[in-house]
Amino acid sequence: MYGRKGFQLILELDSCTDISQFNEALVKEVLEEMQSLYNANMADSNAIRNDDNMALLPSVQLRHIALTRNKRCILAYIYNRMRKLRELRWELGSILPPEINSNLLNAEIQWFQSYNKSLATYMKSLGEDYGFNLTTNILPPKTPYVEVKCVMDFGRLELEDGQVILLKKNTYHLLPRSICEPLIRQGILEHNNI
């Protein structure tokens, strides 16, 4: 039946919360089905035009609907992967974890890098000298400082005022929220819930 493989792509999107491995084989099968539908439609539409055989018109219309549906399924699959990549950029920062990065195609990696550059250029254009980092405070902060616990040995961290702090495992610090949030997202620090 036409369109089942395209529907499988949509089901795959529905079943995954993270970005899974790009299903290149299934996308290729959908594209091959689309090519065969297109070729059959071209042959039948030529027969309609040349032989005036209107009995072929319903099959041409059915195949055209299947073609359109497959195209929408592939575009939805690609768009949702890009949307998830964009969300990950805002959540995790400009560097993706290796387990996510290994699931991406080269074109997706290039798109992510291009999105990083565009976002960085925009953030640099805001503010005066250093720009404005839009990804630090996604939700409005309640306090400018956060008490955090260091989960792993990180080393030296230089604050905006020039103060240097040594982040060692199981140490507690009161740090500016703008500096902590990227480190919390990376798993180096965690909120202190004492």
| Residues linked to residue 148 through DSSP beta bridges, in sequence order | 173, 191
pLDDT at residue 54, rounded to an integer: 80
- Give me the number of domains the chain comprises: 2
Query: Cβ of 37: how many Cβ atoms within 10 Å?
Result: 21
- pTM over 0.95? The answer is no
- Which of 70-84, 103-117, 129-143 is predicted least confidently? 129-143
pLDDT category, 193, cuts 50, 70, 90? low
Residue 87 host element (H or E): helix 57-92
**101 and 28 fall within a common domain:** yes
- Regarding whether 104 and 74 lie in a shared domain, the answer is yes
Distance CA 31, CA 77 (A): 13
The answer to whether the beta carbons of residues 149 and 190 sit under 8 Å apart is yes
Closest CA to 43 of 60, 62, 64, 61: 60
In the chain, the amino acid numbered 12 is E
**Mean pLDDT over residues 25-46, rounded?**
92
Q: Are residues 108 and 175 in the same domain?
A: no
pLDDT confidence band for 194 (50 / 70 / 90):
low
- For 148, the 3-state DSSP assignment is strand
**7 shares its domain with 83:** yes
Structural domain for 19, as ranges:
2-123
